Amino acid sequence: MDVDRFLRELPAQFDDFPLSDKPRDLRFAEVLEAVTGLAQPNNLALLNVAASCLSEGEAYVEVGTYRGTSLIAAMLGNAGEFVALDNWSMGDGSREQLDLNLARFGLTGAAIVEGDAFETLRSDALEGRTIGVYYYDNGHEYEQQLDGMRLIEAYLASPALVIVDDTDWERVERARPASVSCNDAVNEFTKAAHSRDRAWPPTLVPLGLVHG
């Protein structure tokens, strides 16, 4: 994962980063219009830039895909390996709906892993993969959050970008393992994003953590 490129290219997506309430690229608002999800265009642009900075042989892995909004945003215009985990226990999400939504955007080739996230992460489902970008958008109870971090550590590239939703919740922030350090520029962005509740809604602000 090219973290420096990520930190250079993310601000370049906005007229006035981090104040802008939408990225210059209109595709992300279009994704949200077509596939209603829980994110904002800014969050989607961030995932897209992150996935564009994967190094050779690294995968983008997300836990919590729902209707596919975040996965579609990560994949748009990007090559590489994409893996998504969900058990569709929330609302009206389903595997069929996800497949249809990916097809609407002409996206193929993502590995969709269906099942309980924590059982899956404890199994060998990710064996052989090196994760450059990890997006965790699943249960945010402290123990779930901790498992979501601990169980993925062995697969993370060094460095990797770890993006977590709802990082303004104390129990989410508290579950950051000591082995995952955060570089100053990422910290600065996260602080700025948390203070801008329109552009980066507080409950949906991703936190980038640089590992290794």
Ligand X SMILES: C[S@@+](CC[C@H](N)C(=O)[O-])C[C@H]1O[C@@H](n2cnc3c(N)ncnc32)[C@H](O)[C@@H]1O
Cis before 159 (ω within 30): yes
Closer to ligand X at the Cβ: 55 or 169? 169
Contact flag: residue 110 with ligand X (CB under 6 A): no
The one among 19, 89, 95, 103 contacting ligand X by CB under 6 A: 89
Closer to ligand X at the Cβ: 43 or 130? 43
For the bound state, the minimum distance from the C-beta of residue 181 to ligand X, rounded and expressed in Å, comes to 25
Contact flag: residue 206 with ligand X (CB under 6 A): no
Contact flag: residue 116 with ligand X (CB under 6 A): yes
For the bound state, the minimum distance from the C-beta of residue 13 to ligand X, rounded and expressed in Å, comes to 18
Closer to ligand X at the Cβ: 107 or 185? 107
Contact flag: residue 90 with ligand X (CB under 6 A): yes
Contact flag: residue 175 with ligand X (CB under 6 A): no
Closer to ligand X at the Cβ: 10 or 163? 163
Contact flag: residue 86 with ligand X (CB under 6 A): yes
DSSP string covering the chain, please? --HHHHHHHTGGGSSSTTT-SS-S-THHHHHHHHS--S--HHHHHHHHHHHHTPPTTEEEEEE--TTSHHHHHHHTT--SEEEEEE---STT--HHHHHHHHHHTT----EEEES-HHHHHHTTTTTT-EEEEEEE-S--SHHHHHHHHHTTGGGEEEEEEEEES-TTSHHHHHT--TTEE--HHHHHHHHHHHT-TTTS-GGG--EEEEE-
Contact flag: residue 201 with ligand X (CB under 6 A): no
- Determine the Cα–Cα distance for residues 1 and 133; give it in Å rounded to an integer: 7
Instruction: Map the footprint of ligand X across residues 24-83, applying CB under 6 A.
Output: 37-39, 64-67, 69-70
Closer to ligand X at the Cβ: 125 or 185? 125
The closest alpha carbon to 180, from 139, 140, 131, belongs to 131
Closer to ligand X at the Cβ: 1 or 117? 117
Binding site for ligand X (CB under 6 A): 37-39, 64-67, 69-70, 85-90, 93, 116-117, 137-139
